[in-house]
């Protein structure tokens, strides 16, 4: 995909000029105010922003500050396009997060050279970030990426008053698997489980990550505890359908997983108080981990919650057998 360039200036003629000069370097989008620039950036994350320093209302410096406080936009490079050439303005620009300056009147050669350079640097930065947040074996997001996503989604769930569900997934008796089949086979097993888990998630907003060793974590935005139990059962079935041999396994000599399910709607009063420094996303993970422990205690190859909300019936606990989802959901 071609890089996205967001041009921000209150002078439409300058936007048109820069758009013509840069059209072959990326997809051009534009805004004529700081407020419009923020809306555009939220709608589609740009790869580079060229920003007029002086605009009516929200000026370029304030716009840059707002961009840098957004977790999803903070690493987007910003080049100030300004008629100011004094040192104070440049120092101010760099202090609020600018990557570079271009002075008006705009030179075609300088404009293209600096945009090309920053697009190349952005591409390299994105690749390094991807490598730093990706598990080398499974190519799933790693724990660092999961923790960052959990923080973002928890804040979003508080803001939108929507539930957030977390699943902790552990390969049953994986140490015994490694001892019996060897570590290379163990790597193949983990990679197969990882791809089965990823393939069983149906929404683009859902996330599965390798959390460490034989443990995986799943994040399900806008999902209740009961919805999380349904997803957990689908994950159980997906792994069993791999039919990976495991003589020491729980189910018919094949690899299985145990899953702990926790959702913020289990304790809505806690979820509402998270912003006050009380139970937070760490508590959600702790409850999912505790539920995983109970799943192992109750025989493995199943999904488990800790307890239902007051007055609610307990959810079904999947046994991970190869029935279809409707019948599997009724197992006790």
**CATH number of the domain residue 85 falls in:** 3.40.50.2300
Are 105 and 183 within one domain?
no
Predicted confidence at residue 29, as pLDDT, reads 97
- Report which DSSP code applies to 230: H
Are 221 and 99 within one domain?
no
Active-site residue, 269 included? no
Mean pLDDT of the residues in the chain: 89
Cis ω before 105 (30° cut-off from 0): yes
pLDDT in tens, 281-290: 999 999 999 9
| Percentage of the chain lying above the pLDDT 90 cut | 81
- For residue 1, pLDDT over 90 is answered with no
CATH classification at residue 192: 3.30.70.270
Chain centroid to CA 140: how far? 11
- For residue 324, pLDDT over 70 is answered with no
- For residue 311, pLDDT over 90 is answered with no
pLDDT in tens, 267-283: 644 444 444 444 589 99
Are 180 and 320 within one domain?
yes
pLDDT in tens, 63-120: 999 999 988 899 999 999 999 888 998 999 999 999 999 999 999 999 999 999 999 9
Distance CA 117, CA 125 (A): 12
Q: What are the residue ranges of helices labelled H in the chain?
A: 12-22, 34-43, 60-68, 87-95, 108-132, 143-160, 174-181, 183-200, 225-240, 268-273, 281-297, 325-328
The domain in which residue 32 lies consists of: 4-132
pLDDT in tens, 157-196: 998 999 999 999 999 999 999 999 999 999 999 999 999 9
- Per-residue confidence band for 316, with pLDDT thresholds at 50, 70 and 90: very low
Distance CA 80, CA 29 (A): 16
263 within some domain: yes
- Catalytic residue, chosen from 90, 214, 233, 266, is 214
Q: What is the DSSP string of 94-158?
A: HHTT--EEEESSPPHHHHHHHHHHHHHHHHHHHHHHHHHTB-TTT-SB-HHHHHHHHHHHHHHHH
Predicted confidence at residue 273, as pLDDT, reads 47
Of 88, 105, 132, the one marking the end of a domain is 132
- For residue 128, pLDDT over 80 is answered with yes
pLDDT in tens, 208-221: 999 999 999 999 99
- Count of domains forming the chain: 2
87 within some domain: yes
Helix axes 174-181, 183-200, angle to 10 degrees: 140
Of 99, 132, 165, the one marking the end of a domain is 132
Indicate the SS3 state at residue 65: helix
Are 170 and 297 within one domain?
yes
137 within some domain: no
138 within some domain: no
Predicted confidence at residue 307, as pLDDT, reads 64
| Percentage of the chain lying above the pLDDT 70 cut | 88
The strand pairing partners of 275, in sequence order, are none
Are 212 and 115 within one domain?
no
161 within some domain: yes
Of 102, 132, 162, the one marking the end of a domain is 132
Residue 165: what are its φ and ψ, rounded to 5°? -115, 140
Are 90 and 169 within one domain?
no
Are 127 and 147 within one domain?
no
Are 99 and 211 within one domain?
no
Distance CA 47, CA 41 (A): 10
196 within some domain: yes
Average pLDDT of the residues in 251-265:
94
Average pLDDT of the residues in 302-324:
55
Predicted confidence at residue 194, as pLDDT, reads 98
Are 312 and 185 within one domain?
yes
- The reported pTM is 0.73
Are 192 and 255 within one domain?
yes
Q: Is 71 exposed, middle or buried (0-12, 13-18, 19+ CB in 10 A)?
A: exposed
- Per-residue confidence band for 321, with pLDDT thresholds at 50, 70 and 90: very low
Predicted confidence at residue 266, as pLDDT, reads 75
Predicted confidence at residue 306, as pLDDT, reads 85
Strands 27-31 and 78-82: unpaired
247 within some domain: yes
244 within some domain: yes
Are 171 and 253 within one domain?
yes
Predicted confidence at residue 71, as pLDDT, reads 80
Are 122 and 220 within one domain?
no
């Amino acid at each position: 995909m071609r890089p996205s360039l967001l041009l921000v200036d209150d002078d439409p003629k300058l936007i048109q000029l820069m758009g013509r000069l840069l059209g072959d370097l990326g997809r051009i989008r534009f805004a004529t105010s700081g407020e419009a620039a923020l809306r555009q950036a939220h709608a589609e994350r740009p790869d580079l922003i060229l920003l007029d320093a002086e605009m009516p209302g929200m000026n370029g410096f304030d716009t840059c500050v707002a961009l840098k406080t957004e977790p999803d936009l903070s690493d987007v490079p910003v080049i100030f396009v300004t008629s100011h050439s004094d040192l104070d303005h440049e120092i101010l620009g760099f202090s609020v997060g600018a990557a570079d300056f271009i002075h008006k009147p705009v030179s075609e050669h300088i404009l293209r050279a600096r945009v090309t350079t920053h697009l190349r640097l952005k591409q390299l930065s994105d690749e390094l970030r991807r490598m730093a947040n990706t598990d080398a074996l499974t190519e799933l997001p790693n724990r660092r990426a999961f923790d960052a996503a959990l923080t973002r989604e928890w804040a979003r769930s508080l803001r939108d008053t929507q539930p957030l569900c977390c699943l902790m997934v552990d390969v049953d008796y994986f140490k015994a698997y490694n001892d019996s089949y060897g570590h290379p086979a163990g790597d193949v097993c983990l990679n197969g489980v990882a791809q089965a888990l990823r393939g069983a998630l149906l929404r683009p907003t859902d996330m599965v990550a390798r959390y460490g060793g034989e443990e995986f974590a799943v994040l399900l935005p806008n999902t209740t505890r009961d919805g999380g139990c349904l997803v957990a059962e689908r994950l159980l079935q997906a792994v069993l359908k791999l039919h990976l041999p495991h003589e020491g396994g729980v189910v018919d000599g094949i690899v299985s997983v145990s899953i702990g399910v926790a959702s913020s709607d289990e304790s809505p009063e806690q979820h509402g108080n998270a912003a006050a420094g009380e139970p937070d996303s760490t508590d959600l993970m702790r409850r999912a981990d505790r539920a995983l422990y109970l799943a192992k205690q109750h025989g493995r190859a199943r999904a488990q919650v800790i307890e239902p909300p007051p007055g609610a019936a307990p959810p079904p606990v999947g046994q991970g057998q190869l029935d279809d989802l409707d019948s599997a959901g009724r197992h006790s």
